[in-house]
Amino acid sequence: MPEFPDRRDFLKTSGAAGLVAAGISAPADRTASRPRRNPIRHRTVRTNGIDMHVAEAGTGPTVLLLHGFPEFWYSWRHQLPALAAAGFHAVAPDLRGYGHTDTPADGAGYSLRDNLADLTGLLDALGTSSAAVVGHDQGATFAWAGAQLYPQRFKAVVALGVPYATRLPMPITQYIHANNPGKFNVVVYFQQPGVAEAELDADTARTLRTTLYALSGQAPPDLVPRWLLDTPEGAGYLDPLPDAGPPSRWCDWLTDREFSRYAREFGRTGFDGAIRRYRAFDFDWTDLPQVGTVKVTQPTLYMTGELDSAYRFSSLDAMRANVPGLRKVIVMPGCGHWTQQERSHEVNNNLVGFLRSEYART
């Protein structure tokens, strides 16, 4: 029987719903938190055989903004105008299976390879050979993998929440069963076709409210550990999570009107495409064995909330050892998982400062 790390380590590759030191830097540019008015434009591009919806703002060097679960381009609504005001072309796609981007019916079409091909094809459609890539949650997983496999296309990396992770000794579902037997796990739960979709789609607004609250800095610090480590196998996704009501009752970073954008979008699409991505995790382990073995030499910034489960249940040791391009680690006190929304001004300031500094070097 192989030896395994702490039973919580497996969470680091799971994304928001599967969940996964440092200093705090001063803001690089205060003006970045007060961007000039820049309209956000929308269009659809053809890439890798699918139609991909993108929101974009500004002109200049391209910065790709990759969302996580359960989000869509709108989670970058604060960063798009800030980057545009700072002289960048900010592009936030709906990833495959989300928003107004195609949702392939074939469950095999959600692999890491497919998602990376979407992104390199998007760069081609934008007419640019390379871009800086900024990823949150599963978007960070794509950013890390893209930087390893396509270093000429992704010239700088900013990861929110999810740090660089080394290759696991076995596929993720086997790893979870070996480390946390008899316990509920989102990745494992999402493997059952139709089960998770039925639960999450029954009331999409409730699913979003509970997920956003549970992983935020406003939730009790022990809520997510109890959910992800102590819930018995056989439970549903929502069973252990409280419904805290509309965001106006519990936070100041998401208005009820903004939340309604999430509720309308997922009410329209359901969670089908988002969940299918999780079912490709084991395939990815076999299909792209080099991911998690390649060093990231590009300039890199890592930002996280101190209460983000992607940070709390992980270690930064692998990132420090395998990312020689790492410039800075920023941990934001009191911030949960929804980094770019919970701390939009601080994220904007540090993001713009990092990108300006790196582009000034070239």
pLDDT digits (tens, 9 = 90+) for 315-356: 999 999 999 999 999 999 999 999 999 999 999 999 999 999
- Over residues 111-128, the mean pLDDT reads 98
* Average pLDDT value over all residues in the chain: 90
Are 153 and 85 in contact, with CB atoms under 8 Å apart? no
- Residue 198 exposed, middle or buried by CB count within 10 Å (0-12, 13-18, 19+): exposed
The CA-based angle 160-35-38, given to 5 degrees, is: 100
| Domains annotated on the chain, with CATH | 9-361 (3.40.50.1820)
Closest CA to 247 of 286, 200, 215, 290: 215
pLDDT digits (tens, 9 = 90+) for 47-64: 999 999 999 999 999 999
pLDDT of residue 5: 32
Sheet holding 326-332, edge to edge: 41-47, 50-57, 89-93, 62-66, 131-136, 154-160, 300-305, 326-332
Higher per-residue confidence, 112 vs 21:
112
Cα(98)–Cα(113) distance, rounded to whole angstroms? 17
pLDDT of residue 36: 53
pLDDT of residue 177: 94
Q: Kindly tell me if the per-residue pLDDT of 123 is higher than 60.
A: yes
Residues carrying an active site annotation? 137, 337
- Residue 223 exposed, middle or buried by CB count within 10 Å (0-12, 13-18, 19+): middle
- Over residues 20-32, the mean pLDDT reads 34
pLDDT digits (tens, 9 = 90+) for 88-104: 999 999 999 999 999 99
Residue 301 token pair: 């910034």
pLDDT digits (tens, 9 = 90+) for 167-193: 999 999 999 999 989 999 999 999 989
The CA-based angle 134-137-141, given to 5 degrees, is: 70
| Identity of residue 272 | D
3-class DSSP state of 233: coil
Closest CA to 343 of 82, 54, 10, 36: 82
Cα four-point dihedral sign 158, 55, 271, 277? negative
The CA-based angle 24-139-168, given to 5 degrees, is: 90
pLDDT of residue 43: 97
